[in-house]
A and B are shown apart, each in its own frame.
Chain A
Amino acid sequence: MKKILFIMRTAPYGSAGIAEGVRSALGFATLPFELNIILMDEAVWAFLPNQQPEGIGGNPTWSLFETLTDIDVTLNADSEAINERGLAVQSDMPKFNILNSDEISALIGQADAVLTY
């Protein structure tokens, strides 16, 4: 089974990056892949609590990630990016594995294909 890694690096709002990545991951879930997603750089703003993106016509990233966990996509996030922005993992979020740079390197190294969003 091929291991596919989606790296998301853009902020959750202001561009379609995360939404497009999630859409792709949902499509890939119909095929025999082992899917991982990792939030890096600006994408970790998804951890900010009490987001209300409806006001700008956006979709809450929380619900997107919940959907992904429902279909066995493993969620990961970059601890360094989270700490740099003073963010914290919220208790009501889907489960994320918080990885350091060595663990992220290993995740990328083990992937058969890496798609960036």
Chain B
Amino acid sequence: MLVKQKMVGLTCLSGNFRGEDLMKFVFIVRAGPYAFQHLQTVCDLSSAALDKSHEVGIFLAEDSVVAMNGSCKTGSERNLTTSLQELIARGVQIEGCGACCQFRGQKRSDMAEGFRPAGIATLGKMVANADRVMTFGY
């Protein structure tokens, strides 16, 4: 069961918990913010984890880095840039892959307040310090 949870990645919030221990979660998002559910799920999971006093880090990779763009206009739909900024305000470390931004023509000046480009080494350090890592995408 544990193996399956690690592969799927989504369900181990409750599957491998050690009682009421506080944990550091790292969520890696690969999919674009508005074509897939992944980033929205990560925002909701993060909020739920914070409510229970866990620590959360989010690494935005590949198409998900678009969510750092301050120009995203989503009309009546949920704006995930704002959702991420709310998580930053609650203490969540959010990093975005700088190379992924470059591939997509997204400059630092395009990013909304609170976001910055990071390298894969940053992701490595986040994973090194995490109790649980989950990947969301495709």
Contacts and interface: CB of A to CB of B under 8 A. Distances in A.
A2 B30 CA distance: 23
B-side binding surface: helix, strand, loop or mixed? Answer: helix
12 contacts: A2-B127, A17-B138, A28-B123, A30-B121, A32-B128, A108-B6, A113-B130, A114-B133, A116-B9, A116-B135, A117-B30, A117-B135
B2 interface: yes
Q: How large is the interface on B (under 10, 10 to 19, 20 to 34, 35 or more residues)?
A: 20 to 34
Nearest to B63: A16
A113 B130 CA distance: 9
Interface residues of A, number: 26
Nearest to A114: B6
Interface of B: 2-3, 6-7, 9, 28, 30, 61-62, 99, 119-121, 123-125, 127-128, 130, 132-133, 135, 137-138
B23 to A, nearest CB: 13
A33 B9 CA distance: 20
- A-B pairs with lowest CB-CB distance, top 5: A27-B120, A113-B133, A31-B124, A28-B124, A114-B6
Contacts of A2: 127-128
A23 B100 CA distance: 11
A10 B127 CA distance: 23
Contacts of B132: 113
A15 B138 contact: yes
Given A27-B123, A30-B124, A31-B124, 7 more contacts: A27-B120, A30-B121, A31-B125, A31-B128, A108-B6, A113-B133, A114-B135
A82 interface: no
Interface of A: 2, 4, 7, 10, 15-17, 20, 23-24, 26-28, 30-33, 105, 108-109, 111, 113-117
